[in-house]
Amino acid sequence: MKLQFYNSVTSEKEEFQSISNNEVLVYGCGPTVYNSPHIGNFRTFVFYDLLNRVLLQNGYTVKNVINITDIDDKIIDRVNNEDIAFNDLTQKYERIFLDQSDSLNILPSTFNPRASEHISEMIHFIKSLIAKGVAYNVDGNIFFDTKEYSKYGKFVNIDDDNLSREDNELGKKHPNDFALWKAWKDSDGEITWASDWGNGRPAWHTECAVLGTQLLGESIDIHCGGIDLKFPHHENESAQVEALLGNQFANYWLHAEHLIFDSEKMSKSLGNTLSVSDLLKKYSPETLRLFLLSSHYRSKVSFSDKKLDDSSKMIDKIDRFINNFDLDTIDIDGVEYGSFHLSFLDALNDDLNTPEALGVFFDFINTINKNIDNESMTEDLKIQSKIFINLFNSIFSIINTSLSNKESIPKNIQHLASAREEMRNKSDWNEADKLRQKIESLGWLIEDTKNGQKLTQKK
């Protein structure tokens, strides 16, 4: 099956056509770094990783951005009300986000730009919108004028129900107009930047519009985020870019449904969050990852310990299956995919249908287990098994297939080796080499064999 995605703009599944032949440009809205990410945030971030891996599996290379939102009211409040410096606060939570992404086997992004490091580009962008006649100034606050942009309403019908309530108190002309720049106020303290309209700071919708166009280009293939970002954030991001440049900003918009806890969206503002750090004390990163991938990204998923226990049991079943094989001795060179492998790929190409893909993998395991029980395993079935284990793991990434005696290899070394393998798969030799050096500096040697990477501890 050809790769297809459900595009939130048309509300239909569409066959994926990339702008360039081989490289796909993807933007995902990243974390607001004022406290630790919760498992709901990671539902969305693991979905970005799934998308990335399925694109790689389809033979594309991926250039992607997950931005770091380090300018935001909640960040400013914490800095001004607690004894903590702006950079200390934001970089602490950025590091936690990156470390947890790594623990959950999320492939590194090409760019993780901090909004605060691109202010001059944002000022330039806003100036261009003013010059174009689609933005206006009210007391140093700059707003986008939705009445001057006839295509406003890409994701929603602009009727009374959808009116945005953002920044109503700042004197904007129409309810859906939105801030591009917010003038300095007392409560901002020292967090402020100078602009042609006085001191202040860029607003969130402008941060992503500028980071996306600066780092990826004027037109990108895929823009994604959690479903809550569809309106007004993505509406407003795309309105700015498209009003200014006249072209479509992103060809496909993909949104992940929410993770629910006690029948409500898990969110920092509702205070019903479970942090990934706490969950990692109880469950392995692979269990969390499998739990997040077990539901389709467009379905709501509610958190429960029972579901995590089920994921953990699934991992045990996969491990028991793998233990039937000495993977290092099975040669798969030049062997093509069989029908199970193709069904697995079809499910993923059909709008990232992970539950169906998992079902195919477990059907395969059950079939092979029967052959093992009947003592009717053949060389061909062993080869098919190794291929499927590798293929499964290139997407779900919950088993460490290329490393022998993995029990005795520390977790951080295993993660670094997996990251290096992914970099090599992406032909990013530079990054792969840096990871090799890092692994060596931690006392391990890594060797590339016909059957994958091999780690040995330095004597």
Please give the residue ranges that form the binding site for ligand AMP (CB under 6 A): 29, 31-32, 40-41, 43-44, 69, 225-226, 228-229, 256, 258-259, 265-267
- Find the part of the chain contacting Zn ion (CB under 5 A) among 7-15, 25-33, 109-117, 330-338: 25-33
69 phi, psi to nearest 5 deg: -80, 95
Q: C-beta of 232: minimal distance to Zn ion in Å?
A: 11
Q: What is the 3-state secondary structure (H, E, C) of 281-329?
A: HHCCHHHHHHHHHCCCCCCCEECCHHHHHHHHHHHHHHHHHHCCCCHHH
Does 122 interact with Zn ion (rule: CB under 5 A)?
A: no
Q: C-beta of 17: minimal distance to ligand AMP in Å?
A: 25
Q: C-beta of 203: minimal distance to Zn ion in Å?
A: 11
Cβ atoms of 61 and 123 closer than 8 Å: no
In sequence order, the 6+-apart residues with CB closer than 8 A to the CB of 324 are 368, 372, 385
Does 208 interact with Zn ion (rule: CB under 5 A)?
A: yes
Cα–Cα nearest to 371, from 439, 317, 314, 321: 321
Q: C-beta of 275: minimal distance to ligand AMP in Å?
A: 12
Return the number of the residue (89 or 208) whose C-beta is nearest Zn ion: 208
Cα–Cα nearest to 44, from 311, 423, 346, 301: 301
Return the number of the residue (45 or 125) whose C-beta is nearest ligand AMP: 45
Tell me the helices (H) and strands (E) count for the chain, helix number first: 14, 15
Return the number of the residue (259 or 276) whose C-beta is nearest ligand AMP: 259
What are the tokens at 22? 């081989």
Q: C-beta of 299: minimal distance to ligand AMP in Å?
A: 11
Does 183 interact with Zn ion (rule: CB under 5 A)?
A: no
Cα–Cα distance measured from residue 250 to residue 16, given in angstroms and rounded to the nearest whole number:
12
Q: C-beta of 250: minimal distance to Zn ion in Å?
A: 11
Return the number of the residue (47 or 86) whose C-beta is nearest ligand AMP: 47
Q: C-beta of 373: minimal distance to ligand AMP in Å?
A: 41
Return the number of the residue (43 or 341) whose C-beta is nearest Zn ion: 43
In sequence order, the 6+-apart residues with CB closer than 8 A to the CB of 245 are 213, 218
Return the number of the residue (212 or 285) whose C-beta is nearest Zn ion: 212
Which residues is 254 bridged to in the sheet? 224
Whether the CA torsion 411, 416, 420, 426 is positive or negative: it is positive
Does 29 interact with Zn ion (rule: CB under 5 A)?
A: yes
| Residue tagged 């400013």 (tokens) | 76
| Residue 251 partner contact from Zn ion, ligand AMP, none using kind-dependent CB cut-offs of 5 to 8 Å | none
Which residues is 261 bridged to in the sheet? 264
| Residue 208 partner contact from Zn ion, ligand AMP, none using kind-dependent CB cut-offs of 5 to 8 Å | Zn ion
| Residue 357 partner contact from Zn ion, ligand AMP, none using kind-dependent CB cut-offs of 5 to 8 Å | none
Cα–Cα distance measured from residue 432 to residue 452, given in angstroms and rounded to the nearest whole number:
14
Q: C-beta of 408: minimal distance to ligand AMP in Å?
A: 36
Cα–Cα distance measured from residue 280 to residue 48, given in angstroms and rounded to the nearest whole number:
20
3-state SS, residue 197: coil
| Residue 44 partner contact from Zn ion, ligand AMP, none using kind-dependent CB cut-offs of 5 to 8 Å | ligand AMP
Binding-site size, Zn ion (CB under 5 A): 2
Closest chain position to ligand AMP (CB): 226
Which residues is 182 bridged to in the sheet? 201
Return the number of the residue (265 or 298) whose C-beta is nearest ligand AMP: 265
Q: C-beta of 92: minimal distance to ligand AMP in Å?
A: 14
In sequence order, the 6+-apart residues with CB closer than 8 A to the CB of 145 are 133, 134, 135, 136, 173, 174, 177
| Residue 298 partner contact from ligand AMP, Zn ion, none using kind-dependent CB cut-offs of 5 to 8 Å | none
Return the number of the residue (135 or 210) whose C-beta is nearest Zn ion: 210
CA angle (140, 31, 103) in 5-degree steps: 160
| Residue 55 partner contact from ligand AMP, Zn ion, none using kind-dependent CB cut-offs of 5 to 8 Å | none
Q: C-beta of 229: minimal distance to ligand AMP in Å?
A: 5
In sequence order, the 6+-apart residues with CB closer than 8 A to the CB of 308 are 279, 283, 287, 288, 291
Q: Which residue ranges make up the site for Zn ion (CB under 5 A)?
A: 29, 208
